[in-house]
Amino acid sequence: MEIDLADLGFWRRPLKERYEAFARLRDLDLPVFFEEKRVPLLRSGGGFYALVRHADVVEAGRNARVFSSEPGVTSPEPPGWVRHVFGESMVNMDDPRHARLRRIVSRAFSPKMLGNLQGDIDAACARIVDDAVAAGPGDFVGQVASRLPIHVICDMMGVPDAMRVKVHARVDVSTAYSGVRPSLPRSVGMAVQNTLALLALQRLVIKLGRERAATPRGDLVSALVTANVDGERLTDRELGSFFTLLLVAGNETARNTMAHGIKLLTDNPEQRRLLTEDFDAHIGGAIEEMVRYVSPIMQFRRTVTEDYDLRGLHLKAGDKVVLFYGSANRDESVFPSADRFDITRDAKPHVGFGGPGPHFCLGANLARQEIRAMFRELFTRLPGIRSVGEPELLVSNFDNSVRSQPYTF
């Protein structure tokens, strides 16, 4: 099997074939360079070195001074007009700009703030399962997994109930755009839809932010747009960028871990039995193993800022590298029998939340909290819940996203 990670056709291959390809790349002495073809509506970075071993991904993630997130972390890189239209996202920034924004928004993810959310998360899980029971078996993604993260984020931000159906629909459009497009007309059409969806989300939260600046409430938008004791707050554009990042990234991680998770627990009945027999003892390890096994975000790109030697490879300033988290999480030198799903293993070294360094996922603990609460509610009330058949996956080089997963209970 020929391996070309820059060819979007590679990402149409079954997951098993892709994992086998990454295993072959990990066995090579040095990272491989892949030449990129020009993709419609996106700039070509010329090519990149694929970092597929756990140690290489961790080293690059920790050293943000050399491995820069600017100008962009997706592959291929977005054109410059994207930043002008949407503003810059935190994930595409380095310090000190990144540190400033992270310092402001990190207050939303403090242990105290997350503790205050627990009752609302539990109540949301109960309502979602109530609705699933009333509707009967169907699509686990639509009925369960996709609903909780967006509900929680909208609650945190103070988004009115009347707006939430539109928010959900626009997030789905944005998620679809990260997939592999089959043709130029389709690419153009999806780019237009994605742009309109993201702009609508930003306009919504900017309007909300102006209302909260005048009349603050107890929600996150109020906290982000009113100056605190340090005099720091988000501008309109920063608020819009943060909201879309929170919706897309926050939704994808929890949603896809739950969707893949129900399939993994169905296909591995001994692991399911361990979990359900002592939920509290095993759910923490189960969540980490699901995130390791799934790698909801499969890769991020970095640009080298100065000459640097990485495991015998001499990188020059301006070179591109791509951190393949899904490959690092299957590295046998760190995770023995890595292709086996095992909720009792020590999966904590995984890089499913972006790995160590300044860009570690701010919402990791919120995602864990949501997954824990939802699986507790599901296995308590629907002990016979299980997936049925194979999931429909989004064809993407970025999101390991489940579009639908039939299930029954």
Cα separation, 69 vs 57, in Å, equals: 14
Name the residue range of residue 387's domain: 8-408
d(CA 364, CA 173): 23
Contact 11, 400 (CB under 8 A): no
Residue type (1 letter), 175: T
2 within a domain of the structure (yes/no): no
Contacts of 228 (CB under 8 A, 6+ apart): none
* Percent of the chain surpassing pLDDT 90: 56
pLDDT digits (tens, 9 = 90+) for 127-149: 999 999 999 999 999 999 999 99
Instruction: Give the chain's count of helices (H) and strands (E).
Output: 15, 11
For the cut 60, the answer to whether the pLDDT of residue 182 exceeds it is no
CB atoms within 10 A of CB 213: 17
Assigned domain for 120 exists: yes
Q: What total of structural domains would you count in the chain?
A: 1
- Of 336, 256, 328, 360, nearest in space to 19 by CA: 328
For β-strands 299-304 and 320-324, DSSP reports them as antiparallel
Residue 308: CATH number of its domain: 1.10.630.10
Q: Is residue 149 part of a domain?
A: yes
Which residue is it, tokens 């390791």?
Answer: 292
Residue 105 lies in a domain: yes
Q: Backbone phi, then psi, for 6, in 5-degree steps?
A: -85, -10
Sorting pLDDT into bands at 50, 70 and 90, what band is 188?
Answer: low
Domain assignment present for residue 1? The answer is: no
Q: How far, in Å, CA of 322 to CA of 334, rounded?
A: 20
| Average pLDDT, integer, range 387-391 | 96
Burial zone of 55 (CB within 10 Å; 0-12 exposed, 13-18 middle, 19+ buried): middle
Task: Name residue, tokens 């090519």.
Answer: 47
Q: Extract the tokens encoding 188.
A: 């153009």
Give the length of the chain.
Answer: 409
The token duo for 69 is: 């997130």
Nearest residue to 259 (alpha-carbon basis) of 141, 409, 377: 141
pLDDT digits (tens, 9 = 90+) for 301-338: 999 999 999 989 999 999 999 999 999 999 999 999 99
